[in-house]
Structure 1
């Protein structure tokens, strides 16, 4: 019985396996058919793709050739533009370098001009020739003062002149110009008296001032000319006052002023010399050489030695002080 059931079980199991394998075989066959169908479709697609690729390659070859030629042309154009830009850049660099050099040169010139301007301003400050002040201006006259109110100029006006102007006002005829000294010579120091005499020497040498200045238009030039002489003579007075105070440093023993003559007495024990230098001054000081004489008193320094020194002193600002300084330096500091 047991063996029977065992056989039956084996038969049933075998039959089930047969049925299962049959189903599996059928399913595999169906899958195989589907796979073959897919393979055929893929083959068709591959063929179509290959034909498309061939067509594309044919088209792309022409396009690539055209693109290549265009790209080469564009590349050549770009290279030319690049070379042109490089050349322009190089040119701009050269121009920039030139501009920087010009800029440095201009800065140097500007600095030089600034220094020159500063020097000119200092000279203008030093040689300020505006020596007059207005104390009165009316329809009838104008009054100007010079040199610390020690000289007065009175200008008398005449009638108006048609068609002529002075500034914004109608010009006038000048009737008279009168210079007057207001200096008290009895109380004034000798240097101030000398300055006054030299200024009035210039005023007297100009002849008729009304002819030089017939109209108001000419008055500024008169004021300038007089101011120039006043300024120079004022500096001379300051030089004499300086030498009177500090002359001992230059072995200058005494200064004597008489009329327009200045006498300088030098004395030096080191040089064993004593002599007097007499200078004749004029309103042209310090623009002309000074006539001089030498009175030898002690030692070997005479007119020849002094003349050699004075010939080396150029005319100009502080002429008298430079004469005294050079005599001291060249003749009085060493034994002779």
Structure 2
């Protein structure tokens, strides 16, 4: 828990740094724009001065008057001095502009580094933020934790307190048993909730004897973390299924059907002149591994080979199921095949 707060603090600090550098970058860009404007004005003055010199030289040749020419030449020399001064100012402005551009690049690089650091800490925080449990009881003999809107209950039974441990919280205190129980009313619950619960208990059963793997109170945080991680992923899967049931039509998804731990997706597209079923087998390690699947073609030329080619390009990870459906829609159902 402390590490989570520490990482949150670091993320906040990085966000503040990013905001500060953003303001500095904006200030530099404003200065750069001002210098650019001044440079443009200097260029205009230079052009005007050069035009004046050309006019003076033309006037001097036209009138052919020595006195007039000497006066005009004196004015020309004055303009030349002014021109030299303006050129010196322009060079100075160019140097300042170059320095600001270098500073601008440095700030952009630093902001990019801060964004990468923020992303890194955010990922760490997400890994440690699977707090999907609530403690409903803690007594001398046992502790009770609930998961997933109180649909899963974990009861941890403790062994006898160790001598000198007044509060029964010595990390070396033995755990006698860890018992998991489903509290979900499966008859009233939606199919997606039943599926999620099956996957959670699939994971629980796959771990064998929990008491042997986590024999003391010291191991209890690891129990809560491991189970919370699975609960979090399965809960997200349930939300994805509910999303597809509601909005599947946008992805040419005609029907979403659940059976045990399988989800059958019926795609239909008049544009692609295709209709087929995709059945995906889900497991508790979702979404960290590709999903086994079968395809049943009904209409058109889209079959297992075409679907397999699309699924092979969809990386595992967050919202894996939704991205599978979206990729099939985009790659296979937008045009005739």
Gap runs ≥5 in structure 1: 1-102
CA shift in 2, pair 1:277/1:165, >3 Å: farther
Q: Distance in 2 between matches of 1:161 and 1:167?
A: 7
| Other-structure match for 1:335 | 336
Answer yes or no: is the 8 Å Cα contact 1:233–1:283 preserved in 2: yes
Q: 1:167 to 1:140 in 2, by over 3 A?
A: closer
- Note the 1:87-236 alignment, pairs <5 A: 111-120=111-120, 122-123=122-123, 128-161=129-162, 169=170, 171-236=172-237
Count of matched residue positions in the alignment of Structure 1 and Structure 2:
236
Q: Distance between the aligned counterparts of 2:240 and 2:126, measured in 1?
A: 15
Aligned to 2:321: 320
CA contact (8 A) 1:161 1:170 kept: no
Cα shift at 1:125: 6.4
- Equivalent residues of 1:166, 1:217 under 8 A apart: no
| 1:295 paired residue number | 296
Query: Residue 248 in 1 paired to residue 244 in 2?
Result: no
User: Comparing 255-264 with 118-127, which one deviates more in the overlay?
Assistant: 118-127
Distance change in 2, residues 1:108/1:263 (3 Å): same
Deviation at 1:264, TM superposition (A): 0.1
Contact 1:261/1:278 (<8 A) preserved: yes
* Corresponding residue for residue 32 of structure 1: none
Q: Distance in 1 between matches of 2:179 and 2:238?
A: 24
The answer to whether structure 1 residue 286 and structure 2 residue 287 are counterparts is yes
Q: Secondary structure at the match of 1:180?
A: strand
Relative distance call for 1:162 and 1:108 in structure 2 (3 A) is farther
List runs of 5+ in structure 2 lacking aligned partners.
1-102
Instruction: From the superposition, tell whether residues 165 and 257 of structure 1 become closer, same or farther in structure 2 (CA, over 3 Å).
Output: farther
Please report how far the alpha carbon of residue 159 of structure 1 lies from its aligned counterpart in structure 2 after TM superposition.
1.3
Separation in structure 2 between the aligned mates of residue 163 and residue 116 of structure 1, nearest angstrom: 49
Instruction: Write the deviation string for residues 57-80 of structure 1: whole angstroms up to 9, x where unpaired.
Output: xxxxxxxxxxxxxxxxxxxxxxxx
Change in Cα spacing, 1:109 to 1:223, as seen in structure 2 (3 Å) is farther
Q: Deviations over 1:284-318 (max 9, x none)?
A: 11101100000000111111110110111111111
Structure scoring higher RCO (CA < 8 A, sep ≥ 6) equals: 2
- The structure with the largest strand share of the pair is 1
Deviation at 1:144, TM superposition (A): 0.3
In structure 2, distance between residues paired with 1:198 and 1:290? 14
Q: Alpha carbons of 1:243 and 1:170: their partners in 2 closer, same or farther (altered >3 Å)?
A: closer
Could you tell me which residue of structure 1 aligns to residue 266 of structure 2? Answer: 265
User: Deviation string for 1:172-208 (max 9, x for gaps)?
Assistant: 2111100000001111111110000000000000000
